[in-house]
Amino acid sequence: MDEITRQTPVRSVGGNRWCQLVIGMLCMALVANLQYAWTLFVTPMNSRHHWGDASIQLAFSIFILTETWLVPIEGWLVDKFGPRPVVAGGAVCAGLAWVIDSYATVLPQLYVAAVVGGVGAGCVYGTCVGNALKWFPDRRGLAAGLTAAGFGAGAAVTVIPIAGMIVRSGYEHAFFFFGILQGVCMLGLAMLLKKPNAREARAPGKKLVVTKVDYTPGQMIKTPLFWVIYVSFVAVAAGGLMATAQLGPIAKDWGLARIPMNFFGMTLPLLTMTLSIDNVCNGFTRPLCGFISDKLGRENTMFMIFTGEGLALLGLMEYGSNPYAFMTFAALIFLFWGEIFSIFPAICADTFGSKYAAANAGTLYTAKGTASLLVPLASVLSTMGGWNLVFIVSAVVTIAAAISARFILAPMRARWIGLRNRPAAAAAAASPAELNPSKQGAP
């Protein structure tokens, strides 16, 4: 029996790997408000300082760009120094950002806080996802999905008390109080984080296509395989974002936004109800689809889910004028779209190894930032051919990514990993073209 197959479930001195996963999820939940609770502060800040919504929201754009594009660097720090100091630094930055916001009297201070907060959120997000990938080589999809789901769960729990404090005590007090609270809690949790040792990081013998070679980010980006994965991430993220970012304008143009809808005894405007359900689906799908990909394989799951998203987009286009159909298909789009934050980190670690998983997953995560730059294309398309053109383009791009995952990525990745997992003697018999590092990116 293979040595890896005989491994027992991983445990560590400071608690088993499931404890590490829960700690990571809690850290993600605590940092989530920097993104998801921001909207609660915009109107109060504008009422106080009259900066204008556009100028205030520029701070949010700065935050997102900083959070996304610095994750590769933060991931490199995790791989080099471990998760504890990186999350601790992120906790300090996350808390400090909201404290700065609480004292901001001019816009530049708001923008500085956005940069500091983006660094903090990136440190926590990249570290927790990367650490989960290392602890769970056998369940990477589930682990990454649960960790990513924690990013939304925190906002769901704290959004009501934050909103209440803004009303009672002012937005400045809410910024200061929750900034200190979240920062201190994350700092304490950071001290409990650890990276697995060589024995703890071994997989208990699952039947996934997994490499035995560890690639640095520099080696990874030289491989054609990485760019196939990256383009697929951009395509699915952009296709989903182009549609989901426009749900509000679409609902208003179709005369649906303010229609009262009853759901579990609550009556809310259709758009509000739809967004609430969509956020639940967006969080739920991450561990669910990650778990499915652990069982059925990454590319098989990508094929099914991406195809489902494309069909849901076309369904919303065709039947979305009906209020109930609008809510149903919008929820399905989020259900099929949110899984990119579990499957793509998992397939990245499967393909390029565990040792540099945090930096590699962070490098791949920049695809989210690239996709966000394509979102304004939806407005251009809507002026050219109406909302139907937006849905058609989004669906075509997403379904193309599904076909690519099954019929291009799967065989390409299997061949790549199979070659590098061969015994040395078999590898020596391979053709020079297969083993040429300049062409294949092998270390």
What string of DSSP letters covers 192-232? T-----TTTT------S---SS---HHHHTTSHHHHHHHHH
Residue 354 has what pLDDT?
Answer: 87
Token readout for 73 is 């660097």
pLDDT at 266 over 80: no
pLDDT at 436 over 70: no
User: What does pLDDT average to over the chain?
Assistant: 84
pLDDT at 430 over 70: no
d(Cα 255, Cα 402) in Å, to the nearest integer?
33
CATH topology of domain 217-440: Growth Hormone; Chain: A; (1.20.1250)
Note the CATH architecture for domain 17-190.
Up-down Bundle (1.20)
Closest CA to 433 of 412, 413, 419, 414: 419
Residue 128 has what pLDDT?
Answer: 93
Residue 339 backbone phi and psi in degrees, to 5: -70, -15
Task: Of 195-199, 201-205, 286-290, 295-299, give the lowest mean pLDDT range.
Answer: 201-205
Average pLDDT over every residue of 163-173: 91
Give the pLDDT confidence of 343-402 residue by residue, as tens digits.
Answer: 999 999 999 998 899 899 999 999 988 887 887 777 788 788 788 888 898 899 999 999
For residues 165 and 158, is the Cβ–Cβ distance under 8 A?
A: no
Closest CA to 247 of 317, 162, 144, 142: 317
Residue 12 has what pLDDT?
Answer: 42
pLDDT band at 121 (very low <50, low <70, confident <90, very high): very high
For residues 124 and 318, is the Cβ–Cβ distance under 8 A?
A: no
d(Cα 76, Cα 356) in Å, to the nearest integer?
7
Give the pLDDT confidence of 171-180 residue by residue, as tens digits.
Answer: 999 999 999 9
Within 10 Å of residue 383's Cβ, how many Cβ atoms? Answer: 9
Residue 251 has what pLDDT?
Answer: 84
Residue 202 has what pLDDT?
Answer: 62
What share of the chain has pLDDT > 70, as a percent?
88
Residue 251 backbone phi and psi in degrees, to 5: -60, -40
Average pLDDT over every residue of 34-42: 84
pLDDT at 10 over 50: no
Higher pLDDT, 132 or 434: 132
Within 10 Å of residue 19's Cβ, how many Cβ atoms? Answer: 15
Give the pLDDT confidence of 277-304 residue by residue, as tens digits.
Answer: 877 888 888 899 999 999 999 999 999 9
Residue 147 has what pLDDT?
Answer: 92
Closest CA to 298 of 357, 210, 367: 210
Token readout for 423 is 């015994």
d(Cα 434, Cα 278) in Å, to the nearest integer?
45
pLDDT at 313 over 50: yes
pLDDT at 192 over 50: yes
Q: 232: number of CA atoms within 13 Å, CB side? A: 32
Give the pLDDT confidence of 216-263 residue by residue, as tens digits.
Answer: 999 999 999 999 999 999 999 887 777 766 777 788 888 887 888 777
Give the residue carrying structure tokens 């939806």.
378
Q: Using CB atoms within 10 A of its CB, is residue 355 exposed (0-12), middle (13-18) or buried (19+)? A: middle
CA angle at residue 98 from 97 to 100, to 5 degrees? 65
Contacts of 84 (CB under 8 A, 6+ apart): 190, 191, 193, 194
Residue 84 has what pLDDT?
Answer: 94
Q: Using CB atoms within 10 A of its CB, is residue 185 exposed (0-12), middle (13-18) or buried (19+)? A: middle
pLDDT at 310 over 90: yes
Residue 1 has what pLDDT?
Answer: 37
Closest CA to 167 of 35, 60, 36, 41: 41
Q: At what angle do helices 340-352 and 357-373 cross, to 10 degrees?
A: 140
Higher pLDDT, 422 or 442: 422
Residue 306 has what pLDDT?
Answer: 95
What share of the chain has pLDDT > 90, as a percent?
45
Q: Using CB atoms within 10 A of its CB, is residue 140 exposed (0-12), middle (13-18) or buried (19+)? A: buried
Domain positions in the chain are 17-190, 217-440
Residue 206 has what pLDDT?
Answer: 55
